[in-house]
Amino acid sequence: MNSPHTIVFDLDGTLVDTAPDLITALNYVLDREGLPPVPMASARNMIGAGARKLIERGLEAEGRTVSLADMDRMTADFIVYYADHIAVESRPFEGLEAALDHFAAQGHRLAVCTNKLEWLSKRLLDQLDLSRRFAAICGADTFGVQKPDPTIFRETVARAGGEVKASIMVGDAGTDVGVARRAGVPVIGVSFGYTDVPIAELKPDRLIHHMRDLPAAAHSLMTA
């Protein structure tokens, strides 16, 4: 068996397919501004940099810009609506729970490192009965920095009780590859998430197309 590692996961587009509820919340905010909804297919790749960025990208799609005060108000409206509708359609990606079971049985620690707010992340994972699986759930506001700043990764691993030198990042976007590179750890990219640049182009150490492939990819890095 490989020595215990800390497997650190991004949340949106990696652990959970949150796009339906995030885009519904975005379209709720846009509708209040008198703007048309963003189609689900094109909006998926707007996700991943937090609520404010999602709204900015939604406005850009309509060729709109707003004042700082309006952006603050729209972001607050988004968070209130999203918090109340956080797990209407969001579901773990197929094969996730079996992969988590595998890692737990091997004695590995599991953690979440996301640019979502910590309390929203915990609420989502609570409603999906996933929180209990993770030794740490850390968000954009937990340490005052976001991915790709390596501080958030290092502090997440520490909070989980692990060591950075025995850890692996799993994510779907440039921020995840970036945080891993800056922290000096290997990264597994998932091809089914949300990213404006295809994850394969970002050259993760391993690339998987289904969660069933995650344990083998992780173990190949542990033994490399």
Which sign does the torsion angle of CA 198, 177, 114, 124 carry?
A: positive
Q: How would you write 126-174 as a 3-class SS string?
A: HHCCCHHHCCEEECCCCCCCCCCCHHHHHHHHHHCCCCHHHEEEEECCH
Contacts of 28 (CB under 8 A, 6+ apart): 77, 78, 81
Active site residue 31: no
What is the DSSP annotation of 61-126?
Answer: HTT----HHHHHHHHHHHHHHHHHTTTSS-EEPTTHHHHHHHHHHTT-EEEEE-SS-HHHHHHHHH
- Which position has the token pair 């921020």? 175
Q: What backbone torsions phi and psi does residue 130 show, to the nearest 5 degrees? A: -115, -20
Residue 10 annotated as part of some ligand binding site: yes
Edge-to-edge order in the sheet of strand 6-9:
136-138, 109-113, 6-9, 167-171, 187-190, 206-208
DSSP 193: S
Q: Are the beta carbons of 205 and 176 closer than 8 angstroms?
A: no
Question: Catalytic site residues?
Answer: 10
Known binding site: residues?
10, 12, 172
Known binding site for Mg(2+): residues?
10, 12, 172
